[in-house]
């Protein structure tokens, strides 16, 4: 019996889809059977980020309304032989095409077969959110170090705490810009965690590589050299129950080369 994890944030554009794709990828790299479920009906893009858009034949709404079997709608990611699947959202319907009860039944069915089901939640707190959390056992709340995102995360955590079937949510702080945080021009990690007072499961620095990789439809987690990739892999390990220390934010840690340069009096 697998576990369903919903990735949510309240505010749009903080990196729910990117986080879902990369955590799913990182779990698949750890030899877990993972199914990504896009619940953003009408505004789907998890398939694009994963580079699987052209393989979609059926979607979530087709499954729920009985137009196809669940296996027909699952898109297999060939890069991870048999470990990673995507259940895409419908693009031609809207959030009301599915009810929370239908979603729960669907997720329960997927749980029979997969180790982890990562549910990508749409922005907002309406029907789409209710659908996404209906079948979840755990929740990850994504926020960026901005007051607006933190405020929305707070609201979402309040709503998640009301859902009795979900374990206490855990926090991902995304798009950290170290220089701004150091100068106090951005909320820092401690401030956010004490404010929201939930467990922190990972921090991800703002990395140009992330944008590059989404453009090419390849999750950053596949690239072992990027900081963001390591962050997502660490989050996956923490989901699996390993205890992994947080990455240091300092830039000094860039590599041997820059350290050598520094040693010889360079900047």
Partner 1 sequence: MKKNQNVVIKGTKEGLILHLCDTCSYDDLKKELDERLTENSFLHNDSHPILVKVHSGNRYLTEAQKDELRDLIRSRKNLLVEAFESNVMTREEAARLKAENEIVSVARIIRSGQVLEVPGDLLLVGDVNPGGKVMAGGNIFIMGALKGIAHAGVNGDSAAIISASVMKPTQLRINDCITRAPDEGFPEHEKRGMECAYIDEDNRIVIDRLQVLMHLRPNLTRLEGGF
Ramachandran region, residue 51 (left: φ > 0; alpha: ψ -120 to 50; beta: rest): left
- Least distance from C-beta 80 to partner 1, angstroms? 37
List 143's β-bridge partners, or say none. 173
Nearer to partner 1, 9 or 17 (CB): 9
Tokens of 199: 């467990």
- Least distance from C-beta 144 to partner 1, angstroms? 16
DSSP-derived 3-state class of residue 68: coil
Nearer to partner 1, 154 or 207 (CB): 154
Cβ atoms of residues 28 and 34 within 8 Å: yes
Find the binding residues for partner 1 in span 79-138 (CB under 8 A).
none
- Least distance from C-beta 126 to partner 1, angstroms? 13
**Cα-based distances in Å from 222 to 106, 225, 227:** 28, 9, 12
Nearer to partner 1, 90 or 140 (CB): 140
Mark 169-198 with x for binding to partner 1 (rule: CB under 8 A) and - for no binding.
Answer: --------------------------xxx-
Cβ atoms of residues 109 and 4 within 8 Å: no
CA 221/CA 21 separation, integer angstroms = 9
- Least distance from C-beta 184 to partner 1, angstroms? 13
- Least distance from C-beta 98 to partner 1, angstroms? 24
Find the binding residues for partner 1 in span 128-167 (CB under 8 A).
151-152, 154-155, 157-159, 161
Measured in residues, the chain has a length of: 267
Short-list 121, 40, 24, CA closest to 77? 24
Nearer to partner 1, 96 or 148 (CB): 148
Nearer to partner 1, 155 or 259 (CB): 155
Q: Measure the N-to-C terminal CA separation of the chain; round to a whole number of Å.
A: 53
Count of residues binding partner 1 (CB under 8 A)? Answer: 11
Find the binding residues for partner 1 in span 194-253 (CB under 8 A).
195-197
Find the binding residues for partner 1 in span 31-70 (CB under 8 A).
none
Nearer to partner 1, 188 or 206 (CB): 188
- Least distance from C-beta 249 to partner 1, angstroms? 25
Tokens of 76: 């297999």
**In Å, how far from its chain's centre is CA 247?**
18
Short-list 132, 72, 136, CA closest to 98? 132
Nearer to partner 1, 194 or 243 (CB): 194
Cβ atoms of residues 232 and 24 within 8 Å: no
Tokens of 111: 């749980």
- Least distance from C-beta 71 to partner 1, angstroms? 40
Residues contributing to the site for partner 1 (CB under 8 A): 151-152, 154-155, 157-159, 161, 195-197
């Amino acid at each position: 019996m697998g576990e369903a994890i919903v990735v949510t944030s309240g505010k749009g554009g903080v990196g729910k889809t990117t986080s879902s794709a990369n955590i799913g990828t990182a779990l698949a790299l750890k030899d877990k059977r993972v199914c990504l479920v896009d619940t953003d009906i009408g505004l789907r893009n998890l398939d694009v980020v994963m580079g699987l858009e052209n393989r979609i034949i059926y979607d979530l709404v087709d499954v729920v309304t009985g137009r196809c079997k669940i296996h027909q709608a699952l898109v297999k990611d060939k890069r991870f032989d048999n470990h990673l699947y995507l259940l895409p959202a419908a693009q031609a319907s809207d959030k009301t095409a599915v009810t929370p009860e239908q979603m729960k039944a669907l997720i329960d069915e997927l749980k029979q077969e997969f180790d982890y089901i990562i549910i990508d939640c749409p922005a907002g707190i309406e029907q789409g959110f209710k659908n996404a959390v209906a079948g979840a056992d755990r929740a990850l709340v994504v926020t960026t170090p901005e007051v607006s995102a933190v405020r929305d995360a707070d609201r979402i955590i309040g709503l998640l705490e009301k859902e009795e079937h979900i374990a206490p949510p855990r926090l991902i702080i995304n798009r950290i810009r170290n220089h701004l945080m150091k100068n106090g021009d951005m909320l820092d990690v401690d401030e956010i965690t004490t404010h929201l007072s939930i467990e922190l499961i990972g921090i991800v620095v703002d990395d140009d590589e992330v944008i590059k990789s989404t453009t090419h439809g390849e999750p950053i987690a596949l690239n072992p050299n990027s900081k963001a990739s390591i962050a997502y892999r660490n989050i996956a390990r923490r989901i699996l129950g390993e205890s992994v220390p947080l990455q240091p934010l300092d830039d000094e840690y860039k590599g041997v080369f820059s350290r050598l340069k520094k040693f010889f009096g360079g900047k």
